[in-house]
A and B are shown apart, each in its own frame.
Chain A
Amino acid sequence: MADALHDGCPALEVLATGPMTTVQDLGRPGRGHLGVGRSGAADRGALRLANRLLANPEGAAALEVTLGGLAARARGDLLITLTGAACPASVVDAAGRARPIGHQSVERLPDGATLRLGMPRRGLRTYVAVRGGLAVEEVLGSRATDVLAGLGPDRPEAGSLLPVGPPPAAFPMVELAPAAEAPPGEPVLRVVPGPRDDWFRPGALEALCAEPYEVTMESNRVGMRLRGRPLERSREGELPPEGMVPGALQVPPSGQPTLFLADHPVTGGYPVIAVVRERDVDQAAQIRPGQRVRFRLSRGEPS
């Protein structure tokens, strides 16, 4: 099968996936009323940047690599870029010569050469984009993998051959986007109160922002379970199910919040005390289990 696909069609052959690699684009918006979530890249800004660097449409599909470990070989000459969590990366040519490559720079991956990603020093999710985009089959208008709903293309595994689409008409304008390093220390996420802050005891929002929360191992593309000061409710019981958004801080009876990410459930029955601002949700998606995170109240107008 691999050889049949190689005939003239560029592709990326996956040799190793690391802990978890999925195909992602910007998801399938507008289907929430059917119980289908948007899904898509957990760090949307990083995917968009990768596609801009390659002059792809900004929603072209790419690989979302969690904690590095990807190895993939080019079938045909490819142009690639890496965004999101920076990892040590190299291109090993067909003769076995390795060359380190940069982050957020446009790089060649010649026919037969292998891209190898180490473990990121900081951050969680690295995006590997190819000029032309990954052309795996769409499901409901998107190539995104929704791990909660079980929708999307097959999960890449060693031996998967991912077809690459035709290159767009536009050419890359830059070779490198300067990477803004995240400031050292605990990441701070801005939150907008509500929609259900009135389900909590007075002072609960202040408690949320007082001390850092630890991101537990029970974290994935659906959401991050946090551990810290419990948020006390003033009302018992469950809400009738209502719509959820990425960045929502949902609080189950334990009082320990869950921060929803790309593959969050479409509806939920626990109250949401606050929602992380849109721009900061990408940053949240790069926080690793074991790390601590702080929240800061932000009632201002859109950033």
Chain B
Amino acid sequence: MRPRLRRCGDGALLVELEGVDEVVALYDALVADPPPGVTELLPAARTLLVRFEPSSRKGAVESAVLGARPAGGRPGAGGEVTVPVVYDGADLAAVAELTGLTEREVVQAHTGSPWTVAFCGFAPGFGYLVGGDPRLAVPRRTESRVRVPAGSVALAAEFSAVYPRESPGGWQLIGRTGLRVWDVAAEPPALLRPGTRVRFTEAPRG
């Protein structure tokens, strides 16, 4: 399908695609061969935001986006990360109830198949992970928490995530990891970047 281009002010285009796979493929193609003037490529769930400077580049950027040839299949450019999780989250029981699974089955479902970072948002280094077990799709909590500790492993809608820093949050917390997914002193500072494959493993409590 030809992507739909939506104008987003003077200096950006919002490219609408079918889904996460198409977004990541186009993102990878444009990162590999960036059109002149592009300052930012921001993948999201079904869109890729392309920002450029100056605004007179709009026509050229449009042609470059429409002419990009995304590679088939999901490229593994993002590498793979294993995230050890202690599954003792405050919402584990609630998730079990919402999904009709036992707590043990929730853990097995979360660790049972690999996830992929589709995009980052909400906070620096907060990756939205997709592609996991579809039985784990749960709504957000009705009330969001003022303080979610860094390293919390959570679920909401079809996504899973690791909270990079302490922040407010409304996702269902199922566990925690000691793995540092955000470090301003590192380059790049985020461990979970678009395209990264993520395997959750169960770590002993302690």
List residues of A whose CB falls within 8 A of some B CB.
29-30, 32-36, 38, 139-140, 149-151, 192-196, 240-245, 247-248, 265-267, 272, 275-279, 302-303
Contact = CB atoms under 8 A, between A and B. Distances in A.
Nearest to A277: B10
B92 interface: no
A276 B51 CA distance: 15
Contacts of B122: 35, 241, 265-267
* A-B residue pairs, 9 tightest by C-beta: A243-B49, A275-B9, A267-B121, A240-B45, A35-B120, A302-B55, A195-B6, A243-B42, A32-B42
A140 B189 contact: yes
Given A34-B125, A35-B190, A195-B14, A29 B40 contact: yes
Nearest to B57: A302
Contacts, number: 126
Q: Is the interface of A mostly helix, strand, loop or mixed?
A: loop
19 contacts: A29-B39, A33-B27, A35-B122, A35-B123, A36-B125, A194-B14, A240-B44, A241-B45, A243-B42, A243-B48, A266-B120, A266-B122, A267-B42, A267-B119, A267-B122, A278-B9, A278-B55, A302-B54, A303-B10
A194 B48 CA distance: 15
A240 B124 CA distance: 18
B122 to A, nearest CB: 7
Given A248-B9, A265-B121, 9 more contacts: A32-B49, A33-B193, A35-B190, A195-B14, A240-B46, A242-B45, A245-B8, A266-B42, A275-B9
B41 interface: yes
Interface in B181-203: 184, 188-190, 193-194
B56 interface: yes
B160 interface: no
Nearest to A34: B190
Contacts of A38: 40
A240 B27 CA distance: 17
B58 interface: yes
Nearest to A274: B9
A139 B9 contact: no
A143 to B, nearest CB: 13
Looking at B42, B51, B120, which has the most chain A CB atoms within 10 Å of its CB?
Answer: B42
Contacts of B188: 34
B25 to A, nearest CB: 14
Looking at B9, B27, B55, which has the most chain A CB atoms within 10 Å of its CB?
Answer: B9
B164 to A, nearest CB: 8
B53 to A, nearest CB: 9
A301 to B, nearest CB: 8
Contacts of B11: 245, 278
Given A195-B14, A278-B9, A34 B46 contact: no
B9 A277 contact: yes
Looking at A193, A243, A276, which has the most chain B CB atoms within 10 Å of its CB?
Answer: A243
A256 B9 CA distance: 20
Interface in B123-162: 123-128
